[in-house]
Amino acid sequence: MIALIDYDAGNIKSVEKALQLLGEEVVLTRDRDKLLAADRVILPGVGSFGDAMENLNRFGLVPVIHEITDRGTPFLGICLGLQLLFERSEESPGIPGLGILKGEILRIPEKEGLKIPHMGWNSLELQNNGRLFRGIEGQPYVYFVHSYYLEASDEGIVRAAAEYGTRIHASVEQGNVFACQFHPEKSSDVGLTILKNFASIGKGA
């Protein structure tokens, strides 16, 4: 079973539908016991960093997320869910993130002819043999919607990067923790392959 963390932050239904299309059993919940019992857990999200952290704290989910990741359960952050895994964001100064991974979230720099938010399809540069990208070759296109991007402290955890006015760390992997800045649930067959790969990790893959 895959648990989607319900904390009132956006794109949950589209992620749920994509997983159901793959034949996965999915539960949408903020219940601690259900989250801890899940085989795999996904933190989706769109919106602001500060509001999302406020919701996670309000629902008592911050210690639960740490417990899930500490016990080795495969965990996937999507879009804002990626950003929340890190220490801080320029979008919400003074508000700490989950701090499970090291790095910071920065504003995409203003440049002539560059539209912000970054919205639409962009190619990925794959690196470091990410398990989410098994069976995906070349420079696959995926769908982004964001104004802030990750700069990870350790390049070694980066599994995919993208160029949009700057170098964006678009996907990371560290142990049982995975994250994508883009939306796999909106990224056609490539995105479904990524979600399928994540779903297989909890089954001994």
Q: Which of 127, 154, 143, 145 is nearest to 186 (CA)?
A: 143
State which residues form the domain around 125.
2-201
How far is Cα 93 from Cα 73, in angstroms, rounded to an integer? 30
Catalytic residue IDs = 79, 183, 185
pTM score of the predicted model: 0.96
User: What CATH number does residue 55 fall under?
Assistant: 3.40.50.880
The number of folded domains in the chain is: 1
Q: Which residues contact 24 (CB under 8 A, 6 or more apart)?
A: 2, 199
Tens digit of pLDDT at every position of the chain (205 positions): 999 999 987 668 899 999 999 999 999 999 999 999 999 999 998 889 999 999 999 999 999 999 999 999 999 999 999 999 999 999 999 999 999 999 999 999 988 889 999 999 999 999 999 999 999 999 999 999 999 999 999 999 999 999 999 999 999 999 999 999 999 999 999 999 999 999 999 675 4
